[in-house]
Amino acid sequence: MKAGSQTKKRNFRQREIGIFGGASYYIGDLNPRKHFIPSRPAVGVFFRYTTNYRYAFRFGVNYGTVSASDATSKEPDQLERNLNFRSRIYDAHAIAEFNFVDYRIGNDKHYFTMFIFAGLGGCYMNPQMNVNGNYIDLAGLHTEGQKKSYSHYQLTIPFGVGFKWNISDRCGLGLEWGPRKMFTDYLDDVSGSYSNSLLNGLGIPGTMRGNPRSKDWYFFYGLTFNFRLPAPNPQCHGVGISD
Q: Is the pLDDT of residue 168 over 70?
A: yes
Q: Distance between CA 36 and CA 160 in Å, rounded?
A: 15
Q: In this predicted model, what pLDDT tens digit does every residue of 103-118 receive, in sequence order?
A: 999 888 999 999 999 9
C-alpha distances (whole Å) from 209 to each of 93, 103, 196, 199 are 31, 49, 12, 12
For the chain, what is the radius of gyration of the CA atoms?
22
DSSP 8-state assignment for residue 209: -
Q: Distance between CA 173 and CA 228 in Å, rounded?
A: 11
Other CB atoms within 10 A of residue 113 CB: 20
Q: In this predicted model, what pLDDT tens digit does every residue of 186-217 receive, in sequence order?
A: 999 999 887 766 666 556 776 778 888 899 99
C-alpha distances (whole Å) from 153 to each of 68, 92, 123, 125 are 20, 11, 6, 7
Q: Distance between CA 26 and CA 218 in Å, rounded?
A: 4
For the chain, the structural domain boundaries read 13-231
CA of residue 53 relative to chain centroid, distance: 24
Sequence-ordered alpha helix ranges (H) in 69-193: 76-81
Task: Name the E strands within the chain.
Answer: 11-27, 40-52, 55-69, 84-99, 112-124, 128-131, 134-137, 153-166, 171-182, 217-228
Q: Is the pLDDT of residue 69 over 80?
A: yes
Q: What 3-state class would DSSP assign to 141?
A: helix
What CATH code would you report for 13-231? 2.40.160.20
Predicted local confidence at residue 96, as pLDDT: 98
Predicted local confidence at residue 202, as pLDDT: 55
